[in-house]
């Protein structure tokens, strides 16, 4: 079978999974829905492997394969075909997406075991994977936009999965609104590009772009900036990032899949895919790099003071995506994609571990209430440590290799990019600190009551389930989390999933050790052929310097975290008091939410109120609606006045009519 047939199969299996579960959820017994969903994604992964093998069977120059299923719309000027593009970049992405998704589906089967929305969850999750695969496999802008929108919709459905929680629904709406803003940017950017190239198909656009656009021309810059708006909204970069921390309202596997491994990487994928266009718009590239670096730093600082364990990991995601965005914006395509893969492994692993410890706490997510779980949950602890070390960039874990490569290429661009280089390493330092702050606070120290319970073999359950975000009481009926919690130590599917990811977190770096093997670079080369930025000329001195610096910063961060949160917690309290203003700024997440509320939400709400009170009331209701009804009413009143019922009036009318008729004939003759 050809690679593109495998591509269609990759799309087909999750779609079938969604439909089967969605339509048959009433007849599927017990947890079958979960197994069906996992099998669907597993089959998709196998199909992705098949696509990989089939594609690698072609010579490198012929590895960009498209196939079109049918023509959706062929009109004057715009031809939209349902076509996919199977090339190294998309195969890379679908392998990551389907592989990680399979593990997360497996994990979810245990995590949501007695939730009343079990089947609904898996239908949504399969739909999400389908959308993400569609986004990645799309062969033209139209299908990209479709996948983009579907992914946003799936994200909304999954964030507000426990829909009776007011915080969850609000978070879902917030995510959706910001995503829609990104959608608008994406569509408008597509317009600007389509205006000159005349086609929506990727291969056509990329072939035509260098001839149609001059470097730095207004339209291409505008188009790329708008595409960046889409990328930033989806990948939670400043200033469109405010939805990601709130999105932690969704179940933990959702956070693992969508907000760590796949959906938030869509922006990175977009920039990498559109590299031909971005290289024609250096201004857009610079904007991307600066925004990525800014996000990296700001998110890192915020993560230092967060107390909700999932939010710490969320800000960490934001920071790492910042790395990736920065990477693909300065031309480190292979490095950025490599970091995407390693990050998917260890971030999903961290989230899964967080899910486990939240289960041990009976639904409580605050770090301030956790402590000393090391003895009670050894497996989870090990996974956290592996994930944390990978995240902090300690060799030989995977994060080490990928992160430093990005910063290396950044430095090689020269000029003001050195500032980004410095920022990147500061971010790495902060990453190590907040990651191990989280680990030390949760697992070291005096065991809390729940940990002691667990040590004696009893899993803690909250008496009255509450919303961890605002403490509201809730019941465990539909729309709320189920009464069942589980931890990794007790659930085999969770352990299997986490083990796979742990292996990946440890060993995935080995495929791209600098100077030793270049698997990712070689693999992706056919996609990026023709890009002058692709082949880095690695300066060995800088490379070694960077690697050592990265390691040192990582270890220093761990050491500082150890000193503060294991040895002398009083330092943290003292620092908080001394740097009060700074602490406030970080605690309120740099006041982005407040700023957006002030600048956008309030004016919009005010405008809405004005429209309702003034415009709607006076103009529409009064004039248009009232006026037309008034006219009709007056007219009918006038006619009604004729119907008096007085015989004599009728007689008079008759006579009048006869007279008029006669008059007419008289005048005629």
Partner 1 sequence: MSALLFFIAAIGAISGAVGVVVLRDPFYSVLALVGHLLSLSLLFLLLRAEFVAAVQVVVYAGAVMVLYVFVVAYVGDSGSSLGERLRRGAGAQIGGARLRFGSALLGGALLVELLIALLGSGLKAIEGYGASYSPGPRTYGTPAYIGNLLLTRFLLTFEVASFLLLIAAVGAVVLARRRGGLEDGSQELLTPLGLARPRGTGTMAEGVTGLAFALSHDRGGANGEREEQSEPAIVGGETPDGEGGW
Partner 2 sequence: MSIAWYLAVSAIVFALGAIGVMTRRNPLTVLLCLELMLNGANLALIAFARMWGNGDGQILALVVMTVAACEVCIGLGMIVAIYRRSLPLDVDELRELQG
The entry of partner 2, partner 1, none that residue 449 binds, CB within 5 to 8 Å by partner kind: none
**Selected binder of partner 2 within 655, 660, 661, 663 (CB under 8 A):** 655
The entry of partner 2, partner 1, none that residue 666 binds, CB within 5 to 8 Å by partner kind: partner 1
The entry of partner 1, partner 2, none that residue 647 binds, CB within 5 to 8 Å by partner kind: partner 2
Q: DSSP alpha helices (H): ranges in 72-165? A: 88-111, 118-137, 141-159
Instruction: Please identify, using beta-carbon distances, which residue of 582 and 663 lies nearer to partner 1.
Output: 663
Q: In what helix (H) or strand (E) does residue 4 lie, and over which residues does it extend?
A: helix 3-24
Minimum distance from residue 638 beta carbon to partner 1 (Å)? 20
Contact call for residue 651 and partner 2 (CB under 8 A): yes
The entry of partner 1, partner 2, none that residue 669 binds, CB within 5 to 8 Å by partner kind: partner 1
Instruction: Please identify, using beta-carbon distances, which residue of 61 and 647 lies nearer to partner 2.
Output: 647
Instruction: Please identify, using beta-carbon distances, which residue of 570 and 642 lies nearer to partner 2.
Output: 642
Minimum distance from residue 637 beta carbon to partner 1 (Å)? 20
Contacts with partner 1, residue ranges (CB under 8 A): 646, 648-649, 652, 655-656, 658-659, 662-663, 665-666, 669
Instruction: Please identify, using beta-carbon distances, which residue of 510 and 654 lies nearer to partner 2.
Output: 654
Strands 79-86 and 65-74: antiparallel
Query: Strand, coil or helix: what is 487?
Result: coil
Instruction: Please identify, using beta-carbon distances, which residue of 503 and 652 lies nearer to partner 1.
Output: 652
Hey, which residues does 308 pair with through a beta bridge?
A: 366
Query: Cα–Cα distance between 151 and 589 in angstroms, integer?
Result: 26
Contact call for residue 61 and partner 2 (CB under 8 A): no
**Selected binder of partner 2 within 515, 645, 667, 668 (CB under 8 A):** 645
The rounded radius of gyration (Å) of the Cα atoms in the chain is 30
Contact call for residue 648 and partner 2 (CB under 8 A): yes
Query: Strand, coil or helix: what is 70?
Result: strand
Minimum distance from residue 649 beta carbon to partner 2 (Å)? 9
> Which part of the chain contacts partner 2 (CB under 8 A), choosing from 132-140, 306-314, 594-602, 651-659?
651-659
The entry of partner 2, partner 1, none that residue 662 binds, CB within 5 to 8 Å by partner kind: partner 1
Minimum distance from residue 666 beta carbon to partner 1 (Å)? 6
Tokens of 182: 């990104």
Tokens of 209: 């772009």
How far apart are the two ends of the chain, measured CA to CA in Å? 93
Query: Cα–Cα distance between 575 and 412 in angstroms, integer?
Result: 37
Minimum distance from residue 648 beta carbon to partner 2 (Å)? 5
Contact call for residue 646 and partner 2 (CB under 8 A): yes
Minimum distance from residue 650 beta carbon to partner 2 (Å)? 10
Query: Cα–Cα distance between 558 and 556 in angstroms, integer?
Result: 5
The entry of partner 2, partner 1, none that residue 663 binds, CB within 5 to 8 Å by partner kind: partner 1
**Residues of the chain by 3-state class (helix, strand, coil), percent to 5:** 75, 5, 20
Tokens of 658: 């006869």
The entry of partner 2, partner 1, none that residue 569 binds, CB within 5 to 8 Å by partner kind: none
Minimum distance from residue 634 beta carbon to partner 2 (Å)? 24
Compute the C-alpha angle 157/163/168, nearest 5°.
80
Q: How far is CA 306 from the centre of its chain?
A: 20
The entry of partner 1, partner 2, none that residue 645 binds, CB within 5 to 8 Å by partner kind: partner 2
Minimum distance from residue 644 beta carbon to partner 2 (Å)? 7
Judged on CB neighbours under 10 Å (0-12, 13-18, 19+), 259 is: buried
- Peptide bond preceding 664 in cis form (omega within 30 of 0): no
What are the backbone angles phi and psi of residue 73, rounded to the nearest 5°?
-150, 125
Instruction: Please identify, using beta-carbon distances, which residue of 470 and 669 lies nearer to partner 1.
Output: 669
> Which part of the chain contacts partner 2 (CB under 8 A), choosing from 13-21, 125-133, 171-179, 645-653?
645-653
Query: Cα–Cα distance between 569 and 563 in angstroms, integer?
Result: 8
The entry of partner 1, partner 2, none that residue 636 binds, CB within 5 to 8 Å by partner kind: none
Instruction: Please identify, using beta-carbon distances, which residue of 573 and 661 lies nearer to partner 1.
Output: 661
79 to 67, 143, 194, 316: CA distances (angstroms): 15, 12, 11, 41
Taking the CA of residue 559 as centre, how many other CA atoms within 13 Å lie in the half-sphere pointing to its CB? 6
Residues 6+ apart with CB under 8 A from 307: 366, 367, 368
Minimum distance from residue 662 beta carbon to partner 2 (Å)? 11
The entry of partner 1, partner 2, none that residue 75 binds, CB within 5 to 8 Å by partner kind: none
Residues 232-261 that bind partner 2 (CB under 8 A): none
Count of residues near partner 2 by CB under 8 A? 8
Q: In what helix (H) or strand (E) does residue 41 lie, and over which residues does it extend?
A: helix 32-56
Query: Cα–Cα distance between 391 and 604 in angstroms, integer?
Result: 40
Query: Cα–Cα distance between 360 and 381 in angstroms, integer?
Result: 12
Residues of this chain that bind partner 2 (CB under 8 A): 644-648, 651-652, 655
């Amino acid at each position: 079978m050809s690679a593109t047939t495998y591509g269609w199969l990759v799309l087909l299996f999750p779609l079938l999974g969604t439909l089967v579960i969605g339509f048959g959820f009433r007849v599927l017994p017990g947890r079958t829905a979960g197994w069906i969903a996992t099998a669907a994604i597993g089959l998709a992964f196998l199909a992705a492997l098949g696509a990989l093998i089939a594609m690698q069977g072609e010579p490198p120059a012929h590895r960009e394969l498209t196939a079109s299923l049918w023509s959706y719309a062929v009109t004057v000027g715009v031809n939209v075909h349902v076509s996919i593009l199977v090339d190294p970049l998309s195969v890379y992405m679908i392998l990551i997406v389907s592989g990680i998704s399979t593990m997360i589906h497996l994990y979810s089967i245990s995590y949501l075991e007695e939730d009343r929305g079990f089947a609904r969850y898996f239908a949504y999750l399969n739909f999400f994977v389908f959308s993400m695969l569609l986004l990645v496999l799309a062969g033209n802008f139209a299908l990209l936009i479709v996948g983009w929108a579907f992914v946003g919709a799936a994200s909304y459905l999954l964030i507000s999965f426990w829909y009776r929680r007011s915080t969850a629904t609000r978070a879902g709406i917030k995510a959706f609104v910001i995503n829609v803003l990104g959608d608008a940017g994406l569509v408008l950017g597509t317009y600007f590009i389509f205006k000159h190239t005349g086609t929506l198909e990727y291969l056509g656009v990329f072939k035509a772009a260098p001839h149609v656009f001059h470097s730095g021309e207004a339209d291409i810059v505008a188009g790329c900036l708008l595409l960046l708006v889409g990328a930033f909204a989806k990948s939670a970069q400043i200033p469109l990032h405010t939805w990601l921390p709130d999105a932690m309202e969704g179940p933990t596997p959702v956070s693992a899949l969508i907000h760590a491994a796949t959906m938030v990487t869509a922006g990175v994928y977009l920039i990498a895919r559109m590299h031909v266009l971005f290289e024609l718009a250096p201004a857009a590239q610079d904007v991307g790099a600066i925004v990525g670096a800014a996000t990296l730093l700001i998110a890192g600082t915020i993560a230092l003071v967060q107390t909700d364990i999932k939010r710490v990991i969320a800000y960490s995601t934001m920071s790492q995506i910042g790395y990736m965005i920065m990477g693909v914006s300065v031309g480190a395509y292979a490095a950025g994609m490599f970091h995407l893969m390693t990050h998917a492994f260890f971030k999903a692993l961290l989230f899964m571990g967080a899910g486990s410890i939240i289960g041990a706490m009976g639904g409580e997510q605050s770090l301030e209430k956790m402590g000393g779980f090391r003895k009670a949950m050894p497996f989870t602890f090990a996974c956290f440590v592996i994930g944390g070390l990978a995240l902090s960039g300690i060799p030989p874990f995977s994060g080490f290799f990928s992160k430093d490569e990005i910063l290396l290429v950044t430095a090689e661009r020269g000029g003001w990019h050195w500032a980004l280089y410095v920022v990147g390493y500061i971010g790495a330092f902060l990453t190590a600190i907040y990651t191990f702050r989280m680990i030390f606070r949760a697992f070291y120290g005096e065991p809390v009551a729940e940990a002691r319970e667990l040590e004696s073999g009893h899993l803690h359950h909250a008496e009255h389930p509450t919303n961890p975000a605002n403490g509201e009481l809730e019941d465990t009926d539909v729309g709320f989390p189920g009464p069942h919690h589980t931890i990794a130590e007790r659930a085999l599917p969770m352990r299997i999933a986490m083990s796979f990811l742990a292996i990946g977190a440890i060993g995935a770096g080995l495929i791209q050790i600098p100077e030793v093997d270049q698997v990712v670079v070689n693999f992706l080369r056919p996609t990026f052929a023709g890009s002058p930025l692709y082949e880095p000329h690695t300066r060995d001195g800088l490379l070694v310097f960077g690697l050592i610096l990265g390691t040192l910063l990582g270890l220093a961060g761990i050491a500082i975290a150890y000193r503060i949160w294991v040895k002398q917690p009083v330092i943290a309290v003292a620092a908080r008091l001394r740097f009060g203003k700074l602490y406030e700024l970080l605690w309120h997440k740099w006041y982005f939410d407040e700023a957006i509320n002030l600048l956008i939400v309030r004016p919009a709400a005010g405008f809405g109120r004005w429209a309702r009170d003034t415009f709607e009331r006076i103009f529409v209701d009064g004039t248009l609606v009232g006026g037309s009804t008034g006219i009709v009413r007056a007219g009918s009143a006038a006619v009604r006045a004729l119907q008096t019922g007085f015989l004599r009036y009728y007689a008079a009318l008759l006579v009048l009519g006869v007279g008029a008729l006669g008059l007419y004939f008289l005048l005629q003759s």
